Structure 1
Amino acid sequence: MSKISSYINETVEEMKSKVSWPSYPELQSSSILVLIGSLIFALIVGVMDFAFDSTLTWFYNQF
């Protein structure tokens, strides 16, 4: 049990002193970049899905 307690205490200490946390403006800009990147990725996947669906529907209607 002491090993678990020691592990938790060391983890908390490391999170407080050794981890560099971003400032609020850095966090905002990173969050905006992630949001924009996710939207672009979703748009690309949506366009690809629409294109494949349209192509396969056309192909299957030929027979």
Structure 2
Amino acid sequence: MSKFGSYIQEAYDELVHKVSWPSWEELQQTTIIVLVSLIIVTAVIFGMDVVSERVLTLLYNLLGK
């Protein structure tokens, strides 16, 4: 068997027999945690962007155009 074929066979064997896959419930829970975290981080970055834009606009207006 070629090196590539051996690699594919070993990779398949590892994925099927050695990898510990999460249960359906664990998958759903971690997916929800990731999505909620994503929404929170997005909101924080959006808030920081809005605040920095307003602060910079205020500074530009105070210092002259």
TM range (shorter): over 0.9
Greater mean alpha carbon deviation, residues 25-34 or residues 1-10 = 1-10
Q: Which runs of 5+ in 1 are unaligned?
A: none
Q: How many percent identity over aligned positions? A: 43
Deviation at 1:11, TM superposition (A): 0.2
What CA distance in whole angstroms lies between the structure 2 residues aligned with 1:59 and 1:21? 54
Report the equivalent of 1:16: 16
What amino acid sits opposite 1:27 in the alignment? L
> In 1, distance between residues paired with 2:15 and 2:61?
60
Letter in 2 for 1:52: S
SS at match of 2:19: coil
Match of 1:41 in 2: 41
Secondary structure of the 2:41 match is: helix
CA RMSD, 1 decimal: 1.0
Structure 2 residue ranges without an equivalent (≥5): none
Letter of the 2:4 counterpart: I
Mapping for residues 23-34 of structure 1, pairs under 5 Å = 23-34=23-34
User: Aligned residue pairs: how many?
Assistant: 63
| TM-score normalised by the chain length of structure 2 | 0.93
